[in-house]
Chains A and B, each alone.
Chain A
């Protein structure tokens, strides 16, 4: 068999820009690479010299899909450095805002980007022609996520209401009640989503690497938690750099992460589900069981079902938070800068998001480091690609390329989620 190269310069239906190259020599997989172009490096530079109070607003601009994740990891890092623990109503509001982001992001990925792979469509447009009700359900779910973000965050995208110490304004109980009915409908739609995706056909695959996610006693960790793995890691955000390392890879401006002394690991829905299954709400657990998921899941193709279960959970949890919400005495607590280094983590829809800031006594940012989930997952994605290609070398180039793209989409990578321009190419890839 001659050598051949499968190449995709721009990955359709993956967030942002990306490129993939697979080189085969006969049946042997010679080279697999996923090139990514990441914005955080630019933002780390942009943050230097700015006030620590600007960090949530600036980092929210990194991603059009998960601004709340960036804001949350930023305020977690800075508040912990300054010795502030926000009151419970403020924490719950942040959790509610984050649930809105999960709902929006997961609905986008499940319906618009990932489901077409399983159903044999080129994309959501083609799917909508045959299954308009399904796509409308996805859009309605997304819209509910947007509504939560607008009401709590002040704006649907790049929420402007989050600040170090809390919020600029806290909604009243009455204001939040407006969300109850849409969220109840969304929860039904999410349950239907689980039933829908559970009926897809899945190739049997599992990934063997370590799984890493936040964990928090008594709740499915989203906006806070300790960094844990299924192989015994259990650390505070402040110890992240001791246990994880990033290496620069020439082909991308992203950094690839690995566990020090260990290796490849995976964060995101499979890791969260496997580590924290018992913390899901009874309704989400029941939906998972009915969908045929066990208490853990290492199958990247079934990540679409896990995301659907997390959709149920996010709706359920948003409703629980609204029911329990007590208006805080003040929308924010005062935070005075403390010279030093602060560390923060949270669970972005795609996985663990780590921030580190060094500030001086005036609150000026001297140094910032941001490790998004996609750079943490890049090695795992490449490993998985290598195995998928090795097991499917008999496929022709087009089918193999499609399978590779689907393999990458299983991880919902946010390769550079900060560009919107229309890429017009006359030639087909």
Chain B
């Protein structure tokens, strides 16, 4: 396995499922050496999930105050994800923590891109909000572009 897409989320927390939706939309559209992994687990597992991969693309929902559906892209291989920003993760151990923990331990793949899709609703329930649903094809296209560049 040289390249992996980690689709992070929870389909029962509305827009938190956007990473999984992107992962599902990518299935069948990526090159044979790309593995798409749905990650419904707590994010420290990412460190094992990208073990051995040269490139990892992580997709998750996020909240920064931007317009719902806004797509953020972080190149974690060149820039540290600011610790202060991700300390406020509502989850025990956020995607940012997983990236920085792996960096501290020398277990970060050579190239790591993190996509954050601005969510609107995170209450218990199924289904993405309209603006987040509309963002899914854009994220899929962007991830496919990234994967083409890293071939």
Contacts and interface: CB of A to CB of B under 8 A. Distances in A.
Contacts of B94: 420, 422-423
A300 B90 CA distance: 23
Interface string B3-37: 00000111111011001000000000000000000
Contacts of A42: 12, 124-125
A418 B89 contact: no
B96 interface: yes
Contact of B119 (A16, A41, A135, A421): A421
B24 to A, nearest CB: 16
B61 A418 contact: no
B44 to A, nearest CB: 6
Interface string B75-90: 0000000011111111
Contacts of A16: 90-92
B113 to A, nearest CB: 14
A16 B116 CA distance: 18
A135 B40 CA distance: 22
Contact of A129 (B16, B40, B90, B104): B104
Interface in B50-107: 60-65, 83-97, 100-101, 104-105
A82 interface: no
Interface string A315-330: 0000000000000000
Interface in B109-151: 116, 119, 122, 124-125
A64 B41 contact: yes
B93 A41 contact: no
A142 B88 contact: no
Interface stretch (A119-127, A275-283, A361-369): A119-127
Contact of B104 (A15, A64, A128): A128
A48 interface: no
Contacts of A422: 60-63, 86, 89, 94-96, 116
Contacts of A39: 12-13, 124
B139 to A, nearest CB: 14
A128 B45 contact: no
Interface stretch (A6-14, A206-214, A375-383): A6-14
